Amino acid sequence: MHFFENFHLSKQKTLLILMAFMFSVGARFLWVDWAYDIGDIFINNGVLMINTNDGYAFAEGARDMLAGFHQENDLSYYGNPLSTLTYWIVKYMGIKLEFVMLYLSVFLSSLICVGVLLIAFEYNQAKAGFAAALLAGVANSYYNRTMAGYFDTDMLTVVIPVFIVWGLIRVLERKNPFDIIIAPLFVLLYNWWYTSGFSLVSLTTLLFGLYTLVFDRKNSLNYLTLALMLIGIASLNFYLKILLILAVYFYVIYSKNKLNIKISFALLFVSFLLFTIMGGLNPIWFQLKFYIFRDSAELANTSFRYFNVNQTIQESSMIDLQIFCERISSSVIVFICSLVGLGFFCYKYKSFIVSFGMLALGFMALKGGLRFTIYAVPIMAMGFGYFVYILLNFFKLKNGFFSAIYALIVLGALYPSIMHIKQYQVTTVFYANEVENLEKIKKIADREDYVLAWWDYGYGLRYYSDVKTLIDGGKHLGRDNYAVSFALFKDQNASANMARLEVEYTQRNFKEKFGTNLNQMIKEYGSNSLDEFLILLNDKNFKTPPKTREIYYYLPERMLDIFPTIVQFSNLDLNTGKKYSDPFFIVFSDEYIKKHIISFSDDHKTITINGEEIELDGYFESRYDENEKLQITSNFYDMTSGFYVIYMRDQGKYLLLDKNMLNSTFIQLYVLENYDKELFEPVILDRAAKIYRLKK
């Protein structure tokens, strides 16, 4: 038999694969249709924008690769695998970058259907496989992380392991030497695509080894496959690994000794040695630490106790059992059927246990957080497919009946997923009017300039404005966020000083590598303690380092909603890690006034919330005049409550806040446009976002 004949698929099987694939693709267009119907607000440059922050990192990398250059230390994802793939598609297929960003996940993630069906074909279980493939493509958590516009590595992080599992199962089921290359090649691909995939691949390799020891000891092909897998995950040069794997493979295929168990053992021994010498055993499980041990994310090179960002990331939080089931199988019933089916399936087809690495990783969600559930999706879906198959066989249904009931059950199981997809109407990360502002910054700012903004906007700013940022979706540890939080929360003097310090020290730190910026500042300014240093920053005449570039503040309206969270990162005593009391800050709409939940006295000197009366120290009202200029009326009262109200008339929003929040740079610059003319210069004063240049 020739090499390619071995991989021939019948027309029927090809058709099943195509149908499942198209279903998965089609389901992802429901969101695209919905979003295009909403219209302009989600559209930039004629194309629907993406809905994941991190996507802009890959997009920035691809944009820079297309341009052929990027700036030193601009944190661009230049050369990143997803950026590179995107670059190839744009460059060699001539597809617009924005289209690739929107649709790549739709097509790549749907390949999961292909992998699931290929596995099922190895067991001659096309019917079970088809149901499984349909479900795997659209199950809740898998959909959420691979929908259209979800431009992230997730689009292949589950697909590739499914193909690895397929390759291993095929070796075990067919015992054909041609097949031993499949899994190792996908391991190499995974290696390139997703560096954190190491633990999953090691676990899968281990399971394959265990299966061999228990059920298939005499098969030399298994040892050869193991050897190739170990080379695949060893920390060696990528190209060297490809060469080694191909060399061993062709030796096996073309040599007469290919079934000699001694030679197989010798090869396995050598590759295991290679794997171990290169440190292969050390990092196993190590990468999962960040998610298992929640509080150890901060690196040890600082004595300060920053606010840990893990505490605010939703995807790492504990989840309850029902959500867990729904994320994996879209409904609790389907989840239970899947478990039962999986039990029977593994009993009948023991080699399927090589997929249990994925299952285990998925079930780690119970401990480690939502993000892991996606790995269990295809494995549990296979369980469901087999459940349907044995159920119908149990009742010995004739062909016509079989098909009808099969279709009914599968549609019933898919129904919750489709409902979920219809309800999952996420918005794009940026709105069109925000992007307009970002594109204006691009024209104003130099590529070496910094834009100070919260990390949510980091990647997007870098993509649309091509500037540098202090924090982003990948750089947001407590120590990174501290300075930006400080600059938004403190008054304008302290803010300006901190912004200049942080930018200049960040730039120096790339070369000098002096640990945390803050420690170095304290040292160089000769302060005895952090507190002493922070007091210096309140001085307008504080001598900041020489200015090497411009700094812009990006203050979007949307930040009003997350401002209390932002404040947490600097509103604490870094020496002890203890939080200061939360500042008072409430945003409410004028609906509350209309519904009489909240009311003001006629003179606006008191506000009543739930029957509780609060005296105000001041009442401000902002509104836009006919020239789209912000007008502020302010009234200060002689009270001592420390509470203020700002009414943003055009947005229909009220802010109830304390003095610290009122004086914060964000509120002064964004809400009131009350900037210190010696420190800041407005560049763009738009409703959606305000951008100031730091004059210091």
Q: Between 228 and 470, whose beta carbon lies closer to Mn ion?
A: 470
Q: How far is the CB of 550 from Mn ion (least distance, A)?
A: 15
Nearest-approach distance from CB 84 to Mn ion, in angstroms = 17
Residues whose CB falls within 8 Å of the CB of residue 44, separated by 6 or more in sequence, listed in order: 98, 430, 432, 435
Residue 444 CB, nearest distance to Mn ion (Å)? 15
Nearer to Mn ion, 473 or 515 (CB): 473
**Which one of 70-78, 278-286, 564-572, 644-652 is the stretch in contact with Mn ion (CB under 5 A)?**
70-78
Examine residue 491 and tell whether it contacts Mn ion (CB under 5 A): no
Whichever of 71 and 308 has its CB closer to Mn ion, that residue is 71
Q: Identify the bridge partners of residue 553 per DSSP, sorted by sequence position.
A: 452, 692
Q: Which amino acid makes up residue 652? A: G
Minimum Å distance from CB 477 to Mn ion?
22
Q: Are 90 and 97 in contact (CB under 8 A)?
A: yes
Specify the residue, 448 or 686, whose C-beta has the smaller distance to Mn ion: 448
User: Cβ neighbours of residue 160 under 8 Å, at least 6 residues apart?
Assistant: 186, 189, 190, 193, 194, 197
Stretch that binds Mn ion, among 74-82, 94-102, 625-633, 657-665 (CB under 5 A): 74-82
Stretch that binds Mn ion, among 9-17, 71-79, 182-190, 261-269 (CB under 5 A): 71-79
Subset of residues 164 to 183 that bind Mn ion, contact rule: CB under 5 A: none
Binding region for Mn ion (CB under 5 A) out of 64-72, 500-508, 643-651, 663-671: 64-72
CA neighbours within 13 Å on the CB side: how many for 507?
18
Shortest Cβ distance from residue 591 to Mn ion (Å)?
A: 43
* DSSP per position, 209-276: HHHHHHH-TT-HHHHHHHHHHHHHHSSS-HHHHHHHHHHHHHHHHHSTTTT-HHHHHHHHHHHHHHHH
**Cβ distance to Mn ion smaller for residue 60 or 154:** 60
CA nearest neighbour of 502 among 577, 450, 454, 458: 450
The helix, strand and coil proportions of the chain, stated in percent and rounded to the nearest 5, come to: 60, 10, 30
Tell me the residue number closest to Mn ion, measured at CB.
Answer: 74
Which is closer to Mn ion, CB of 552 or CB of 647?
552
> Minimum distance from CB of 516 to Mn ion (Å)?
24
* H or E stretch at 556: strand 551-556
Q: Which of residues 397-416 bind Mn ion (CB under 5 A)?
A: none
Which residue, 71 or 544, has its beta carbon nearer to Mn ion? 71
Binding mask 527-566 for Mn ion (x = CB under 5 A): ----------------------------------------
CA angle 639, 640, 644 (to 5 degrees): 75
Nearer to Mn ion, 77 or 163 (CB): 77
What's the min distance (Å) between Cβ of 438 and Mn ion? Answer: 14
Of the two residues 74 and 491, which places its CB atom closer to Mn ion in the complex?
74
Interaction between residue 71 and Mn ion (CB under 5 A): yes
Interatomic CA distance for residues 485 and 583, integer angstroms: 13
Cβ 470 to Mn ion shortest distance, Å: 14
In this complex, which beta carbon is closest to Mn ion, that of residue 70 or of residue 145? 70
> Phi and psi for 574 in degrees, rounded to 5?
-65, -20
**Cβ of residue 71: shortest distance to Mn ion, in angstroms?**
4
* Of residues 70 and 420, the one with the C-beta less far from Mn ion: 70
Of the pair 71, 641, the CB lying nearest Mn ion is at 71
Would you give the binding string for Mn ion spanning residues 4-23, x where CB under 5 A is met? --------------------
Strand 630-636 to 618-624 pairing: antiparallel
Binding residue count for Mn ion, defined by CB under 5 A:
3
**Residue type for position 207:** L
Q: Which is nearer to Mn ion, 74 or 676 (CB)?
A: 74
Q: Which is nearer to Mn ion, 74 or 673 (CB)?
A: 74
User: Measured between alpha carbons, how far is residue 422 from residues 30, 48, 109, 425, 685 in Å?
Assistant: 7, 18, 18, 7, 37
- Bridge partners (DSSP) of residue 622 are 632, 648
Q: CB under 5 A: which stretch of 69-77, 127-135, 146-154, 170-178 binds Mn ion?
A: 69-77
- Minimum CB separation from Mn ion for residue 70, in Å? 5
Residue number, 71 or 635, with CB nearest to Mn ion: 71
Which region, judged by CB under 5 A, interacts with Mn ion, from 65-73, 307-315, 412-420, 604-612?
65-73
CB nearer to Mn ion: pick between 74 and 439:
74
Whole-angstrom distance, CA of residue 202 vs CA of residue 251: 25
> How does strand 612-615 pair with strand 606-609?
antiparallel
Q: Which two tokens stand for residue 477?
A: 């540890």
Q: Report the nearest approach of Mn ion to the CB of residue 440 (Å).
A: 17
Identify the DSSP state of 631: E
Q: Among 44-52, 72-80, 478-486, 558-566, which window interacts with Mn ion (CB under 5 A)?
A: 72-80
Taking alpha carbons only, the member of 364, 354, 413 closest to residue 140 is 413
**Cβ 60 to Mn ion shortest distance, Å:** 7
Closest listed residue to residue 382, CA positions, set 350, 412, 342? 342
Shortest gap between Cβ of 469 and Mn ion (angstroms)? 10
- Least distance (Å) from Mn ion to the CB of residue 632? 37
* Sequential DSSP letters for 17-78: HHHHHHHHHHHHHHHHHHHHHH-GGGEETTEEPPS-TTHHHHHHHHHHHHHT---TTS---T
Q: How far is CA 157 from CA 29, 186, 187, 287, in A?
A: 21, 11, 11, 15
- The DSSP call for residue 515 is S
Choose the binding region for Mn ion from 66-74, 134-142, 606-614, 634-642 (rule: CB under 5 A): 66-74
CA dihedral 407, 413, 414, 417 (to 10 degrees): 170
As a whole number of angstroms, the distance between CA 692 and CA 564 comes to: 21
CB 462, min distance to Mn ion, A: 6
Choices 63-71, 216-224, 516-524, 631-639 (CB under 5 A): range interacting with Mn ion: 63-71
Q: Say if CB 245 and CB 167 are below 8 A apart.
A: no
Q: Which stretch binds Mn ion (CB under 5 A): 62-70, 93-101, 559-567, 619-627?
A: 62-70
Find the helix packing angle between 399-423 and 377-394, rounded to 10°: 150
Q: What is the DSSP string of 586-608?
A: EEEETHHHHTTSEEE-TTSSEEE
Query: In the complex, what is the shortest distance from the CB of residue 55 to Mn ion, in angstroms, rounded to a whole number?
Result: 17
In the list 25, 32, 41, 74, the residue contacting Mn ion (rule: CB under 5 A) is 74
Q: Does 608 bind Mn ion (CB under 5 A)?
A: no
Residue 463 neighbours by CB under 8 Å, 6+ apart: 56, 57, 59, 60, 63
Q: Using CB under 5 A as the criterion, which residues of the chain lie in contact with Mn ion when the complex forms?
A: 70-71, 74
